[in-house]
Amino acid sequence: MSTKLFVKIGTILLIGVFFMTACAPAATPVVAPTNPPSSGQATGTACDFDPTTCAFLAGKDFTGQTLTVGVWGGDIEKILRDIVIPPLEAHGAKVNLLLGGTGDRTAKVYAEKGNPTMDVSYQNIYESIQGVKDGVFEAPSADVPAYNDLYPVAKSGCYGMSLMGLGIAYNTDVFKTPPQWADLWNPEYKGKIAFPNYPGSEGDGFIAIAARLQGKDEHDPDAAFAKLAELKPIPLVYTDLDTVFTMMDKGDIVAAPMISGYAISYEKKGMKVGFSWPTNPGPVLTEDNLCIVKGTKHRDLALAWAQLALSPKTQEAYANRIYFGPTNSKAQVAPDVAAQIVYGDKVKSLIALDWTYVSSQRSTWTDRWNKELLNK
């Protein structure tokens, strides 16, 4: 090819790139937060949190410190930007959010063990239990005053951040009343039950439920996998919610194990989907955790972050906006929201798994899931 041709191609490509970059922001839909950002933090003097949190923050100066927080992007990130970050910035801190999934974060904190670059990391329950044991996360303590107000269940790993239940999302045309777990095994629905991606809390919960339907529990994986295999063929392994709820709305899928709260926004869009809190056996408890990374160079700032994140105000925002149940017993939730989330007495009705055992089985179970459920 001639040099001239290359120059020409290069020029046109450059113009193309410029054109695309110029258009990109306009092409990306800007999603507005569901609620307006809370006010009152702009000046840095007013504190509209609970007295404990305000007292804990009073007089602190974080000037020159940057806190690095690893967390999921999207709705959770928005709540943090609205509620948790402004008061810290008012005290002089800078916050750097690292968005992504918990797998990436787990890999990062273990790889950087002893010399972390991330100060706070949001993890799921089994990762936090293991991480505390392996010395990559701090065990929860009253260094964060909100610790004293947490439900006992929220102290088993790091600081429990949100409580969710693994229940059943279902097509409301097919099930006139909210189904129980056993209903998924009705031969009529064979090949129409979507599975979660494995490994993950949803899959672990589904394994535990299948074992319980056989009169066993998660310690008997043989019973569980035999029962799950009865649901084959699997129409969909869901990795994103849009796909599974669209297919459920159309009736290609009649039900799927699902974390509480996820179905609500789709229900509100007018899709024919609902969420069931099964009672026999009950939903499986899952819990997001806030972990302070051991060896953080900004521990005071990390503690302040944890206090703000676990405060009733933040926890109530989680409940009202994304239907995640609070772990702080002082958080107040309106009755209509309470019905949709893990809250109050419902906390006790959920099945708590033996997470240490489940973690130790993850590799074996992934193998079995691949071979016995996904393989044709």
User: Which of 240, 303, 245, 234 is CA-nearest to residue 272?
Assistant: 245
Is residue 366 part of the contact set for another protein (CB under 8 A)? Answer: yes
Please enumerate, as own/partner, the contacts of 269-274 that have beta carbons within 8 Å and a separation of 24 or more: 271/245, 271/246, 272/171, 272/172, 272/173, 272/248, 273/169, 273/170, 273/171, 273/172, 273/245, 273/248, 273/249, 274/169, 274/170, 274/172, 274/175, 274/178
Identify whether the C-beta of residue 195 lies closer than 8 Å to the C-beta of residue 256. yes
Identify whether the C-beta of residue 283 lies closer than 8 Å to the C-beta of residue 183. no
> Using CB under 8 A as the criterion, what x/- string covers residues 101-120 for binding another protein?
--xx-xx--x----------
Is residue 362 part of the contact set for another protein (CB under 8 A)? Answer: yes
In this structure, what token pair is assigned to residue 374? 């996904």
Closest distance to another protein from the beta carbon of 135 (Å)? 9
Tell me which of 87, 179, 199, 326 binds another protein, using CB under 8 A.
199
Is residue 134 part of the contact set for another protein (CB under 8 A)? Answer: yes
Is residue 348 part of the contact set for another protein (CB under 8 A)? Answer: no
Integer Cα distance of 56 and 303 in angstroms: 10
Residue span binding another protein (CB under 8 A) among the ranges 177-185, 198-206, 284-292, 310-318: 198-206
Is residue 133 part of the contact set for another protein (CB under 8 A)? Answer: yes
**Stated length of the chain:** 376
Closest distance to another protein from the beta carbon of 218 (Å)? 14
Is residue 18 part of the contact set for another protein (CB under 8 A)? Answer: no
Identify whether the C-beta of residue 248 lies closer than 8 Å to the C-beta of residue 256. yes
In this structure, what token pair is assigned to residue 220? 């008997």
Nearer to another protein, 237 or 338 (CB): 237
Residues 6+ apart with CB under 8 A from 266: 241, 245, 249, 273
Is residue 363 part of the contact set for another protein (CB under 8 A)? Answer: yes
Is residue 176 part of the contact set for another protein (CB under 8 A)? Answer: no
Tell me which of 47, 97, 139, 237 binds another protein, using CB under 8 A.
237
Tell me which of 35, 214, 332, 360 binds another protein, using CB under 8 A.
360
The label of the residue with tokens 């006790």 reads 348
Integer Cα distance of 132 and 146 in angstroms: 19
Closest distance to another protein from the beta carbon of 101 (Å)? 8
Integer Cα distance of 373 and 371 in angstroms: 6
Query: In 3-state terms, what secondary structure has residue 62?
Result: coil
Nearer to another protein, 126 or 181 (CB): 126
Nearer to another protein, 219 or 250 (CB): 250
Tell me which of 200, 221, 278, 312 binds another protein, using CB under 8 A.
200
Nearer to another protein, 13 or 55 (CB): 13
Nearer to another protein, 47 or 271 (CB): 271
Is residue 42 part of the contact set for another protein (CB under 8 A)? Answer: no
Is residue 229 part of the contact set for another protein (CB under 8 A)? Answer: no
Closest distance to another protein from the beta carbon of 360 (Å)? 3
Closest distance to another protein from the beta carbon of 365 (Å)? 9
In this structure, what token pair is assigned to residue 210? 């299948």
Residue span binding another protein (CB under 8 A) among the ranges 60-68, 146-154, 247-255, 302-310: 247-255
Is residue 12 part of the contact set for another protein (CB under 8 A)? Answer: yes
Handedness of CA 321, 327, 328, 329 (dihedral sign): positive
> How many helices (DSSP H) and strands (DSSP E) are in the chain?
15, 10
Is residue 214 part of the contact set for another protein (CB under 8 A)? Answer: no
In this structure, what token pair is assigned to residue 135? 């010395």
E strands, 239-293, in order: 255-259, 273-276, 284-292
Q: Which residues bind another protein (CB under 8 A)?
A: 1-2, 4-5, 8-9, 12-13, 16-17, 20, 103-104, 106-107, 110, 130, 133-134, 197-200, 234, 236-239, 243, 246-247, 250, 252, 356, 359-364, 366-367, 370-371, 374-375
